[in-house]
């Protein structure tokens, strides 16, 4: 059994660590086992439910080289039992300069459950090509 996370930031760090490490067990630990979770990959359809969401990450991980992921938090809304982070993900080759890679905009929703904070929604999309480079990303995995 996995334990939860003591705050949304810890859950988010674990999410991006799993992403960068192509670690499906890390993804399993981060996504809520209780809520009706939803995941939207860039340009993708709405995936509903834990099984469909985790399957999509397993598919991505099977076909990808481990990326470097750096994040900048655009906005953070902290509630007593829900938290929402809008994040700019900078995704590049591992060991390279992640800030020079692709940019994805993600809205991540965390929910406080009995075992701690878990991810319940990840909605990602691509900003326009050629968007001005944002400020330096802060969290690097």
Binding site for a copy of itself (CB under 8 A): 35-38, 40, 42-46, 48, 74-75, 77, 79-84, 86, 88, 105, 107, 109, 111, 120-121, 123, 125-128, 131
Residue 111 CB, nearest approach to a copy of itself (Å):
6
- Integer angstrom CA distances of residue 81 from 9, 18, 30, 73, 78: 13, 23, 16, 20, 8
Q: Do strands 82-93 and 67-78 pair parallel, antiparallel, or not at all (unpaired)?
A: antiparallel
Residue 123 CB, nearest approach to a copy of itself (Å):
4
Going by C-beta distance under 8 Å and a sequence separation of 6 or more, which residues neighbour residue 138?
70, 71, 72, 73
Helices marked H in the chain = 8-21, 24-30, 50-63
Q: Considering the complex, state which of residue 95 and residue 130 has its C-beta at the smaller distance from a copy of itself.
A: 130
Whether the CB-CB separation of 102 and 92 falls below 8 Å is answered with yes
Residue 106 CB, nearest approach to a copy of itself (Å):
8
Q: Considering the complex, state which of residue 23 and residue 86 has its C-beta at the smaller distance from a copy of itself.
A: 86
Q: Cα separation of 10 and 136, whole Å?
A: 21
For residue 77, the cross-strand partners are 84
Q: Considering the complex, state which of residue 24 and residue 38 has its C-beta at the smaller distance from a copy of itself.
A: 38
Residue 78 CB, nearest approach to a copy of itself (Å):
8
Q: Considering the complex, state which of residue 22 and residue 70 has its C-beta at the smaller distance from a copy of itself.
A: 70
């Amino acid at each position: 059994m996995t334990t939860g996370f003591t705050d949304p930031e810890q859950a988010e760090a674990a999410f991006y660590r799993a992403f960068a490490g192509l670690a499906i067990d890390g993804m399993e630990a981060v996504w809520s086992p209780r809520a009706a979770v939803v995941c939207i990959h860039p340009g993708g359809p709405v995936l509903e439910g834990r099984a469909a969401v985790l399957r999509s990450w397993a598919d991505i991980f099977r076909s990808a080289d481990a990326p470097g992921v750096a994040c900048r938090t655009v906005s953070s809304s902290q509630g007593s039992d829900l938290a929402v982070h809008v994040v700019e993900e900078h995704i590049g080759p591992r060991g390279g300069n992640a800030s020079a890679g692709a940019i994805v905009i993600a809205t991540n929703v965390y929910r406080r459950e009995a075992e701690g904070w878990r991810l319940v929604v990840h909605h990602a999309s691509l900003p326009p090509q050629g968007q001005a480079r944002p400020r330096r990303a802060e969290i690097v995995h």
